[in-house]
Amino acid sequence: MSASRTSRLSYVIGIDAGSTKTDAIVANLEGRALGAGTSGCANWELVGEKGAAAALEDAIRRALDGASAELANVRHIHIGAAGLDWPEDEGRLRAALAPFLGDVPLTMENDSYLGVRACAPTAHGITVSAGSGVCASYIGATGEKYFYGYFGELGGGTAIDQLALQAVLRAEDGRGSKTELTSSIPKATGHASVRDLLHALTREGYALTHTIIRPSLFDTAARGDAVAIDVVTTFGRELGLMATNLIMKYRLKGSAPWVVASGSLFTRTGPLLFDVFRRIVRGEDESAAVRLNDRPAVAGAVRVALNACGSKANGNWEAISASYRGVLDA
Nearest in space to 30 (alpha carbons), one of 286, 290, 314: 314
Q: What is the pLDDT of residues 82-101, one digit of tens each?
A: 989 888 999 999 999 999 99
Q: What is the DSSP letter of 92?
A: H
Question: How many other CB atoms are there within 10 angstroms of residue 319's CB atom?
Answer: 9
- Closest of 57, 26, 25 to residue 39, by C-alpha: 57
pLDDT confidence of residue 155: 46
Average pLDDT, the chain: 91
Predicted confidence (pLDDT) per residue in 126-160, tens digit: 999 987 778 899 999 999 999 987 555 554 556 78
- The reported pLDDT for the residue numbered 323 is 86
How is residue 251 annotated by DSSP?
T
Q: Using CA atoms, how far apart are residues 129 and 40, in angstroms rounded to an integer?
A: 19
Distant-in-sequence, close-in-space partners of 297: CB < 8 Å, separation ≥ 6 = 16, 23, 80, 111, 114, 115, 118, 262
pLDDT at 156: 53
Are 242 and 262 in contact by the 8 Å Cβ rule? The answer is no
Question: Tell me, what DSSP letter sits at residue 85?
Answer: -
- CB atoms under 10 Å from CB of 71, counted, come to 17
Residue segments in the chain with a per-residue pLDDT below the cut of 70: 1-8, 150-158, 330
CA distance 260 to 262: 6
For residue 8, what pLDDT is reported? 65
Identify whether the C-beta of residue 28 lies closer than 8 Å to the C-beta of residue 72: no
Bridging pattern class, strands 22-28 and 33-39: antiparallel
C-alpha–C-alpha distance, residues 152 and 158, integer Å: 8
CB contact set of 34 (below 8 Å; sequence gap of 6+): 11, 26, 27, 28, 66, 67, 68, 69
Phi-psi region of 207 (alpha: psi -120 to 50; beta: other; left: phi over 0): beta
The whole-number pLDDT of residue 3 equals 43
Q: What is the pLDDT of residue 9?
A: 73
First-last CA distance in the chain: 36
167-207 confidence digits (pLDDT tens): 999 999 999 999 999 999 999 999 999 999 999 999 999 98
Task: List for the chain the helix, strand, coil content (%; round to 5).
Answer: 55, 20, 30
